[in-house]
Amino acid sequence: MAMGPNIGGGDGDDLYRPVADINVTPLVDVMLVLLIIFMVTAPLLASGMKVNLPNASAAQPLNPQEPIVVIVAKDGRLALGPDDVDAARLVDAIREKIGDDTTRTIHIRGDREAAYGDIVSVLNLLASNGLTHIAIVADAKAAPVIPAPASEVK
């Protein structure tokens, strides 16, 4: 039997049958080229533009002020910075420190074991007196203590 174009035998359609395999080599080549392009251009985009700034004699440097710190102890006592203060005098003491600058930030540092109601009452007292730039300070390193539900406590 003579072997012609029909090498695999059969009816001759095997020669023109589509190949079902995917050639990933060109895909990998394109992806590597794109990766190199992005690696080269990304630092250029992030660096920005070099600008020679003009001098201004009237320019004032920014004065970053330290925030006012209100501490709520676990027994409910309040402190403004290092000084103890009672709740009735808290707003007046803060206004003495900030003067006319009502945009100055007030940090609330509540003890982990302080009653939630004590901290909320300080927040409410400050906000109701127009001191609205308030931040609650938390320790990012400490893991939160989540108490067990009352149904599981025996």
State the Cα–Cα distance between residues 48 and 73, nearest whole angstrom. Answer: 47
Q: Is residue 144 part of a domain?
A: no
Q: Is residue 130 part of a domain?
A: yes
- The whole-number pLDDT of residue 152 equals 59
Q: Is residue 92 part of a domain?
A: yes
State the Cα–Cα distance between residues 96 and 99, nearest whole angstrom. Answer: 6
pLDDT in tens, 128-140: 888 888 888 777 6
State the Cα–Cα distance between residues 116 and 62, nearest whole angstrom. Answer: 36
- Count of domains forming the chain: 1
- The whole-number pLDDT of residue 119 equals 86
CATH number of the CATH domain containing 76 = 3.30.420.270
Q: In this predicted model, which residue has the larger pLDDT, 47 or 55?
A: 55
- The whole-number pLDDT of residue 51 equals 65
Q: Mean pLDDT across the stretch 97-122?
A: 84
Domain span at residue 72? Answer: 68-136
Least confident interval from 5-9, 31-35, 99-103 = 5-9
pLDDT of residue 46 exceeding 80, the answer is: no
Q: What is the pTM of this model?
A: 0.50
pLDDT of residue 35 exceeding 90, the answer is: yes
State the Cα–Cα distance between residues 42 and 59, nearest whole angstrom. Answer: 34
